Chain A
Amino acid sequence: AQTVTQSQPEMSVQEAETVTLSCTYDTSESDYYLFWYKQPPSRQMILVIRQEAYKQQNATENRFSVNFQKAAKSFSLKISDSQLGDAAMYFCAYRSGGAQKLVFGQGTRLTINP
């Protein structure tokens, strides 16, 4: 079974600085998708960014970018120019290309210090 591990339960960063959240996953499949979701205090899950395993290029969405290392099974999220509104729980998730289920990590709580 696939597993997703987020080794940092909590992270903090100064406003305007850059922070990187770690995620590793375990799979024997070659066709899969990886996601980062943000869960603010409202608790609604918001898609931040997604990466297709077959793409070598790292996905980028404005201030959010990923470092996808397929051989190492690593999928970290970099947030540049951190803003107070970035404070939330961040979840890394995996989905096999042939399945509907998202497998989530335990989450990382990100605090932004003004």
Chain B
Amino acid sequence: DGGITQSPKYLFRKEGQNVTLSCEQNLNHDAMYWYRQDPGQGLRLIYYSQIVNDFQKGDIAEGYSVSREKKESFPLTVTSAQKNPTAFYLCASSILEAGGSDTQYFGPGTRLTVL
């Protein structure tokens, strides 16, 4: 099946620890994104990548890091520098289309809880 997978579904972290959230897509999409969702709010962009080995900061990149070594993979690391990491994290991907008309499709998300 084609799609976007995120793992794990639930993740618990102790304060001071780094954790890495996985995002994989087999849609051959060019661009990948990480969003954060807090209760009662919409999504906010953390990082995005349009091409392998290149990525850009979004609105709330502080305390997060990413890599894009393969087209199909875009892992997100939540570092100990992130002050309030408990949230729902959603990965998305899209084909880059001429004129910027691409649509983003989302994975099932990872719920991160800091204990």
Binding site for B on A (CB under 8 A): 4, 31, 33, 35, 37, 42-47, 50, 52, 91, 93, 95-102, 104-107
Q: Are A50 and B42 in contact (CB under 8 A)?
A: no
B-side contacts of A99, CB under 8 Å: 100
Given contacts A43-B109, A44-B109, A91-B43, contact A102 B104 (CB under 8 A): yes
Binding site for A on B (CB under 8 A): 31, 33, 35, 40-45, 48, 50, 56, 58-59, 88, 90, 92, 99-101, 103-109, 111
A-side contacts of B105, CB under 8 Å: 47
Q: List 17 A-B contacts (CB under 8 A).
A: A4-B42, A33-B100, A33-B101, A33-B103, A35-B103, A37-B106, A43-B108, A44-B106, A44-B107, A44-B108, A45-B92, A47-B103, A47-B105, A52-B101, A93-B42, A97-B100, A102-B43
Given contacts A33-B101, A35-B103, A45-B90, contact A100 B40 (CB under 8 A): no
A-side contacts of B109, CB under 8 Å: 43-44
Given contacts A91-B42, A91-B43, contact A100 B103 (CB under 8 A): no
B-side contacts of A52, CB under 8 Å: 101
Please list the 7 inter-chain residue pairs (A to B) with the smallest Cβ-Cβ separation, ordered nearest first.
Answer: A104-B42, A45-B106, A97-B100, A44-B108, A101-B45, A104-B43, A100-B48
Report the nearest A residue to B110, measured CB to CB. A43
- A86 vs chain B, min Cβ distance (A): 18
Q: Are B100 and A31 in contact (CB under 8 A)?
A: yes
A-side contacts of B111, CB under 8 Å: 43
B-side contacts of A106, CB under 8 Å: 40-42
The docked-state distance in angstroms from the alpha carbon of A97 to that of B97 is 10
A-side contacts of B44, CB under 8 Å: 104
Given contacts A101-B48, A102-B43, contact A50 B88 (CB under 8 A): no
Q: Are A101 and B58 in contact (CB under 8 A)?
A: yes
The docked-state distance in angstroms from the alpha carbon of A102 to that of B45 is 8
Q: A52-B101, A102-B35, A102-B43 are in contact. List 5 more A-B contacts (CB 8 A).
A: A35-B103, A43-B108, A45-B43, A101-B58, A102-B45
Report the nearest B residue to A101, measured CB to CB. B45
- B82 vs chain A, min Cβ distance (A): 20
